[in-house]
Structure 1
């Protein structure tokens, strides 16, 4: 179809859109060839009647017919050259085309009056054949618009009907009736086609408008999600900076000789710092999962090893609440999953069970072939004797910040994000979950994980002691542009017997490296000037392979974390705990990173 200069704007309302397309189709179907096509039929018809009755009226009709065709053609060309139409002009232009088509229909309606002045039966029959053909062809051409169909067909047929009625007689009456019946049937069929087209166009544009608005809403949601992730990442980094310094200063105080009251105060301060850090980590996990920054690495895992790690993590908290916690699984059972993510998923379920169980205990089991298990799957179950969950709340407990029996938002019950993370990890790992619970009867959470072939037990050499860690380096260079963080880190390392050389930027760091026997470098990721701490540490490792390097960062952006991991440089997330820092420095890698 020819592309007209007024193509449909995407945001156009449905009625205007239908009018615009109807006008476009009407102009397309009434092109020059089709407008001029009646001339070869009208010309011989007029000549025949002129020669037979020696009347000038047929020539008058032919001249009027030519004029009507020429006028319609010129108006169409002018409309095409006019350029894009405004929305408010559509109705007027469409009415103008209806008038042009009406003029052509009226010319055919005048044919029986001007061609056959004597109203002979032969003449009327011949003219009726031409008019029937013109109505059939014309109504098909303009069938996209109801008013245009009627504007052409009705005057063309009306002239023939009135001429037959004027002639009278049986033939005249029958011919008039047949012409009227033909007109009625033609209008019915062509109107149905026009209505069907209008309805189809309306539905089409409504769907397009709905799809457009849906796309806009999706874009808004995605933009809001990106902004939320960016805000959480920025807020997390900005909050971790002072929290990192507080954590280090607290560690220094914990190592100092204090009286009993001061020691208790410092211990409470350290606990508060750890709780705040845990909250930041939890919100960060939600942000990273929503942003698609977490990608699972599936591998065969021994359930026994998984349960052993979970037992070490949660036995203490269960004992502190006088609860029993038991782990049960066949010794050779193995699954296919991501070790870290599956541990987090099950750990959140266990942690939630412990928090909401006042007496009794928690059972963590894994079984294959049980009624609850599916073929080829292992069913993990976390069963507690806690307060239970009513049926109307069992779906909402997986929403963020939704907690039962905690209207006062007691921090001991967490933030209400743990099960939300479970839901996201379940979808990410494709591990279906189910929850069965009743108030005061406990809760049973099930997680299905695909089964793997049994794995060999670890060799004796693999289960032996790890190589002894190296002692702490004696001379440590600390690079951090934050004075408080730099001072806190230097104070902690000094309390551990290290000689610390603090630097606020890379220039100072290079000078200190040249002047002192530096054995280890601890650097923040964000540094002033060009480059960052990671790039500087990589350059140092290439130039001095004997140096121990450690990156300390508050970054949470997925791409930056991926870059840090890929570099091979040991790193810690802020806020850093004292023992975590000591362990990292003692075991910091000194080999150059893999290229």
Structure 2
């Protein structure tokens, strides 16, 4: 807001305040004039009193009309200068007439009439301090137009008593001038602060709206990243895995293995960056439940035991089978996995221990190692993005430096405090405190995927549906390399047409969740079930990592996987489905 704009706003606020308060002041002026006329009715000629009263009434009627017109004006701010004139001129005339009355009607040595002649004008003048002090020059003018004629009249009498009264009136005038100046300064400063606050609120509102728009844009980007950017990465992962299965020559297989490592690193980087963006933007919402902590510990021990054995480290994992916590099991597992992964990465000799303990009514999950440790000045920076200890060459095999940044954000999201104790060369202790859960609130466990090594997927008829041709071709190549019988389709309608043409029933359906024309994989599965007349095992594949569980009707009967799909996990799932099929066939033969 410019200086001129602030001055214009101040002028409008002043005139608005004065005109809104005018009705009370006008009534007080008229009432005081009528009372003064009644008191002096037998002391002065009636024509003088009535003439003076008529002037007071006429002027205040004009003031009242202007106040009423202002209050009913549509856009009064556009005519601020005009309103100033319409207010100030009648107001100054009114106080001048009061000053004339104080001069003319004063009765020296008149006892009670003398007191009335002094008290009423001075009281009206004192009232102007409250009413007019918002405009300093108007207050000074009005106050002096009432009091100076009275002061002059008192001094004109000339005796000692009146000179004394005049001096007292002079002191009264001086004090009120000081009060008026101070009050005007206080009110003006208050208005200035009000304008500054309004401007600040306006700027904050604009910045808030700008931040909200940026957040919406970021959310749209995340949605695109979750789906569109994952599509080629998903296809690349499937194709590289299919190529790896087909390569027999060691020298070529070595190159393919390098490609697989590069793809894996790309997936890790992409997932880490996307996770940080989702946590920062608030897109990722926790799903808080009660669950057994031992389930997470078992999975982590199973996944990281080979790495610990390879490095010759003791990897001690407590069972914590009785511990029930209340948290998001997926996000909490992500935190603990990061602690264990870092501990194994930075420990060359000694041990890594994962355990839990009670502390202050919570379960504290602790990962302790005998690794390289962290200096005190690095204990806070390790939770920043791309910060790594002991990896100046940025070796990707040692991670990306995003793990603890994600941990810090998950900790804040879940309100689970994270603590770290470490000393250089003495190892580190990372811990996270989690609220206790209740045994009776633990949900029913989902069926585990049985990982049976060595079993081929021969004669397993798999129907795949994906509207992205590159993903469809990649998945087709991968499944055929696993000896599956593959039927591929780009939509649910095409899949049904192929089932009719080939006259076969698929053993399993792999479908993308979002298909073209606003169709979903669930709708395609429903059409296939209706066509075959039997329930078919199905896997829904989605690029939205924010989806942990589909809440649509019938979705609980199917498996959910996120892009980019890990081929090993997909193969294990298909083996599980094949086992169920074989078990069902044996049961039917025995029956």
With the shorter chain as reference, the TM-score category is 0.7 to 0.9
| Alignment partner of 1:183 is 2:173 | yes
Q: How far off is 1:572 after superposition?
A: 1.9
1:250 is matched with: 240
Secondary structure at the residue paired with 2:544?
coil
1:537 aligns to 2:525 (yes or no): yes
The counterpart of 2:52, out of the listed 47, 61, 78, is 61
1:447 Cα deviation from its structure 2 partner = 1.8
Distance 1:539 1:17, change over 3 A: farther
> If the length of structure 2 is used for normalisation, what is the TM-score?
0.83
Say if 1:141 and 1:238 are closer, same or farther in 2 by CA, change over 3 A: same
Cα distance change of structure 1 residues 144 and 582 upon mapping to structure 2, 3 Å threshold: same
Equivalent in the alignment of 2:424: 439
Q: Are the counterparts in 1 of residues 11 and 80 from structure 2 also a CA contact under 8 Å?
A: yes
Cα 1:452–1:243 shift into 2, 3 Å:
closer
Deviation at 1:449, TM superposition (A): 2.6
Could you say which residue in structure 1 is the equivalent of 2:505? 518
**Cα drift, residue 339 of structure 1:** 3.3
- For structure 1, the residue ranges without an aligned partner over 5 or more in a row are 1-8, 369-373, 456-461, 591-595
The structure-2 alpha-carbon separation of the partners of 1:497 and 1:208, relative to structure 1 and needing over 3 Å to count, comes to same
1:419 aligns with 2:419: no
Q: What does residue range 6-405 of structure 1 map to in structure 2 within 5 Å?
A: 19-31=11-23, 34-43=25-34, 45-46=36-37, 52-54=43-45, 57-86=48-77, 90=80, 93-94=83-84, 97-116=87-106, 124-142=114-132, 144-189=134-179, 195-290=185-280, 291-303=282-294, 305-328=295-318, 332-368=322-358, 374-405=359-390
Give the Å deviation of 1:161: 0.9
Preserved contact between residue 315 and residue 353 of structure 2 (Cα < 8 Å): yes
| Paired positions, count | 565
Question: What is the CA deviation profile of residues 125-174 of structure 1, one whole-angstrom value per residue up to 9, with x for unaligned ones?
Answer: 43212212322444444455544433332221111112212222123212
TM-score, reference length from structure 1: 0.82
Q: 1:546 aligns with which of 535, 556, 576?
A: 535
DSSP-derived class of the 1:38 partner: helix
Shift of 1:563: 5.0
Does structure 1 retain, via aligned residues, the 8 Å contact 2:450–2:573?
no
Q: Is the 8 A contact 2:462 2:484 kept in 1?
A: yes
Distance 1:253 1:278 in 2: 21
Q: Does 1:489 align with 2:475?
A: yes
Instruction: Report what 1:581 is aligned to.
Output: 570
Tell me the equivalent position of 1:458.
none
Distance 1:442 1:207, change over 3 A: farther
Aligned-partner Cα distance in 2 for 1:436–1:538 = 54
Partner residue in 2 for 1:6: none
1:504 to 477, 490, 500: 490
Q: Secondary structure at the match of 1:30?
A: helix
Higher mean alpha-carbon deviation, 520-529 vs 14-23, is at: 14-23
Partner of residue 515, structure 2:
527
Equivalent residue number for residue 5 of structure 1: none
Q: In 2 relative to 1, CA 48–324 (structure 1 residues): closer, same or farther, beyond 3 Å?
A: closer
How far did residue 203 of structure 1 move? 4.3
User: What does residue 586 of structure 2 align with?
Assistant: none
Judging changes above 3 Å, is the alpha-carbon distance between structure 1 residues 352 and 202 closer, same or farther for their aligned structure 2 residues?
farther
CA distance in 2, matches of 1:537, 1:28: 72
Go from structure 1 to structure 2 and tell me whether the alpha carbon gap of 1:20 and 1:325 turns closer, same or farther (over 3 Å shift).
farther
CA RMSD of aligned residues (A): 3.8
* CA-to-aligned-CA distance 1:32-87 (integer Å, 9 cap, x gap): x6424423432463576576454855454344433432332343344445432447
Q: Distance in 2 between matches of 1:158 and 1:559?
A: 85
Structure 2, gaps ≥5 residues long: 441-446, 582-591
Distance 1:480 1:335, change over 3 A: closer
Q: Distance in 2 between matches of 1:44 and 1:255?
A: 111
Moved more, 264-273 or 423-432: 423-432
- Residue pair 2:463, 2:488 contacting (<8 A) in 1 also: yes
Q: For residues 385 and 127 of structure 1, what CA distance do their matches in structure 2 show?
A: 98
Q: Distance in 2 between matches of 1:54 and 1:357?
A: 112
Kept in 1: contact 2:465–2:511 (CA 8 A): yes
Mapped to 2, the partners of 1:227 and 1:317 lie a distance apart of 41
Q: State the 1:195 CA deviation.
A: 4.9
User: 1:261, 1:153 → 2: CA distance?
Assistant: 105
The secondary structure found in structure 2 opposite 1:437 is: strand
Following TM superposition, by how much is the alpha carbon of 1:96 offset from its aligned partner in structure 2, in angstroms? 5.5
Check whether the contact 2:361–2:435 (CA below 8 A) recurs between aligned residues: yes
1:445 alignment partner, SS class:
strand
How many angstroms apart in 2 are the aligned matches of 1:55 and 1:553?
99
User: In the alignment, is the contact (CA less than 8 A) between 1:50 and 1:56 conserved in 2?
Assistant: no
- Give, in whole Å, the separation in 2 of the partners of 1:58 and 1:489: 108
With over 3 angstroms needed to count, the CA separation of the structure-2 counterparts of 1:302 and 1:499, relative to structure 1, is: closer
Q: Which residue of 2 aligns with 1:593?
A: none
Q: 1: distance between equivalents of 2:388 and 2:510? A: 41
Shift of 1:276: 1.6
